[in-house]
Every structure is written in structure tokens, then in C-alpha cells.
Amino acid sequence: MIRLYRQTPEGIERTTQVDAAEQHLDSVFWIDLLTPEPAEIKFVERLCGLEMPTYDEMREIEATSRLYTEDGARFMTTTVLSRVDTESPSLSEITFVLMGAKIITIRHSDSYSFRVFSHQLLRQKQISRDQVFTGLLETIVDRQADVLERFGAELDRLSKNIFRRDEPEGKTSKRVPVSSALRLTLQDLGRVGDLLTRQRDCLVNLLRLLTYASNEEALDDTNSTLYIKLRPLSRDVTSLSEYANFLSSNVNFMLDAVLGLINIEQNEIVKIFTVAAVVFMPPTLIASIYGMNFAHMPGLENEYGYYISLVVMLVSIILPLVYFRSRRLL
């Protein structure tokens, strides 16, 4: 899909009609390509006289493949974490192309930041290419900050679940079985840790883009509006990276704590079996020595003795199971 944003006397106009791009090319300042078809890519290339990066080229990890200048245009690609509000968040690449007074964006996944900025843009009367570029980056950075805040809140909740003490007031402390809860907590920690790793990768890529864009702009004019706005954005991304590192260290700490608690829980179960084995070992030893082969044993002549013994064996199996179940050890 192609979205064209052009400047009109009435304000900013958005259209998907590609004919308008050729008729009013001078007034078009932003060409947004969302999951473009090959024909749409070729149209933009013919319109702008540039070769656009392919999807595979956008996914390359080399800095020289993501940040470069070609035919007087700057090509800058970064990675963002998209669909965070869904069950399947994923990484997606966004390419910014700065060419003269125009900006071209190429993306293969719908982005919340782009939707927000697009709505804000349509309320403006006049805007420039640099304002669109910095506005998009600011919205992306704000979104990254919101995502990190959400991860931080999630880790706070998990931390309370791990280290809480469910003890009634005025009573002595008692061990609380937490095996089932710890399994769920371990899964949640793994999920948050995975998302944090992806988010840190996004911030690293975004910081590289900001550094490249500001350095390239500084070569032209250190007093330019774009250079002045990119510098504080770089500081914001740096602070977000530090916060992401802090959250990652918290994830590692809580993972160690959960695994430690699981080990304690398992040791408690082993201890119960050890005590039971020690308690029943002497009578088992005596019974094995004598074989219970006495001349006079009560109940041997009982008509229902065999069935009573079966019931007693069954009860001896059920009672430990009920006990372990009540202690949430099974």
C-alpha cells in the first residue's frame, strides 16, 4: 500500500491515489510504503529515481547495509518491536529515505507509532521533511519507552509473586508450597526476558540510526533543525538502553531466585521421602528377618482376613497420597 502526504493550501492531505503523486510531485513530502507490492516499489523508484532496498536487504545486520548514502539520498534502516499488545510480538524493519525535500518510509508491518504520528500529522497546517523524520523518531522512542515501562511493571508483579510471604498475622511462619506458581512465574519470566532481548536489539539499532543521521547532518550544517532535534533523541535512547539493561539484570536475578526456590521445594520433597524411609526401615528389617512366620498370629483364621489385608494395603497407599496432595507436593 502506498500512502502519499502532500501539502495543500487547506493543510495536510493524505491519499492512496498514485496518480496524485505524478500530478502533484512537488507538493508531496512523505511517501509511506506499507507492505508494498513489487509494482508499487517500481513506481516509487521510477518516481524518485532511486533504487529502494528489498525486504531481504532491510533485514541484513551489517551497518553498511542499513546506513548508507546513495545518489544523494540517505538510507537508514532500524528495527522496532511491533504487535506488543498481541500474543505474538515480532521484530520488523523500517527504512527511512531522505531525498531532497521528501522522505520515503518502507515497512512490512503496521506500526502503532506510525498510526499515532499520522493522526497527529493530519491536524497540522504545514510541515517539512525534517519535522516528519524527527516526529516519527520521537513517536517511535516514546513507544519504546512505554513498552519498557510495561515490562518494568510486569517484572514488579512477578517479583512480588516470587518473594511474597503468605503468612497470617499473629501466627508462626509456615512453609508455603509454591511449585505450581513457580512454574507459571518461570514461564512469564522467560517471556519477558525474550521480549527484553528483542527490545534491547531495537534500541541498539535505533541509536545507530540516530548517530548516523546526526553525524551526516552535522557535516552539512551543525545549526540545522534536524541536527538539534536528533541530539536529545540520542540521549533518550541511551537512557532507555540503560534501563533495558537494568531490567535484564532483574530478569536474571529473578530467574536465579525462582530456580533456587524450586530446588528448595524439591529438597523438601526428598526430605519427606527420606524421613519415611528411615522411619519404616527398622520394622521392615525385623519383618524381613522373622518373615512374620509365627505359630500363633491373630487374624489368620479370619474368613475375611485376605480382603481386610487388601483394604489395609490400599489405605496405606491412599493416605500418603492424600498427605502429599494436601501439602501440594503432587
Q: Of the ranges 12-21, 26-35, 260-269, 309-318, which is most confident?
A: 26-35
Q: CA angle, corner 49, sides to 47 and 53, nearest 5?
A: 100
Share of the chain above pLDDT 90, in %: 34
Neighbouring CB atoms inside 10 A of 306's CB total: 8
Task: Confirm whether pTM is higher than 0.85.
Answer: no
Residue 206, pLDDT > 80, answer: yes
Please state which of the ranges 90-104, 206-220, 297-311 shows the lowest mean pLDDT: 297-311
Over 50: is that where the pLDDT of 173 sits? Answer: no
Q: Please tell me which residue, 225 or 274, carries the higher pLDDT value.
A: 274
Query: What residues contact 312, with CB distance under 8 A and at least 6 apart?
Result: none
CB atoms within 10 A of CB 28: 20
Mean pLDDT of the chain: 83
Kindly state the average pLDDT of the residues 51-66: 90
Helices 179-220 and 129-163 cross at an angle (nearest 10°) of 160
Label residue 211 exposed, middle or buried (CB < 10 Å: 0-12, 13-18, 19+): middle
Q: What is the pLDDT of residues 237-252, one digit of tens each?
A: 999 999 999 999 999 9
- What whole-number distance in Å separates Cα of residue 109 and Cα of residue 92? 6
Asked if 43 and 2 count as a contact pair (C-beta separation under 8 A), the reply is yes
Q: pLDDT band for position 35 (50/70/90)?
A: very high
From the list 112, 134, 189, the residue with the least C-alpha distance to 157 is 189
Share of residues in the chain with pLDDT > 70 (%): 86
Q: How many CB atoms lie within 10 A of CB 245?
A: 13
What pLDDT is recorded for position 169? 47
- Alpha helices (H) in 78-178, listed in sequence order: 112-121, 129-163
Specify the pLDDT at position 6: 87
Q: 155 burial class (0-12, 13-18, 19+ CB within 10 angstroms)?
A: buried
Three-state SS for 310? helix
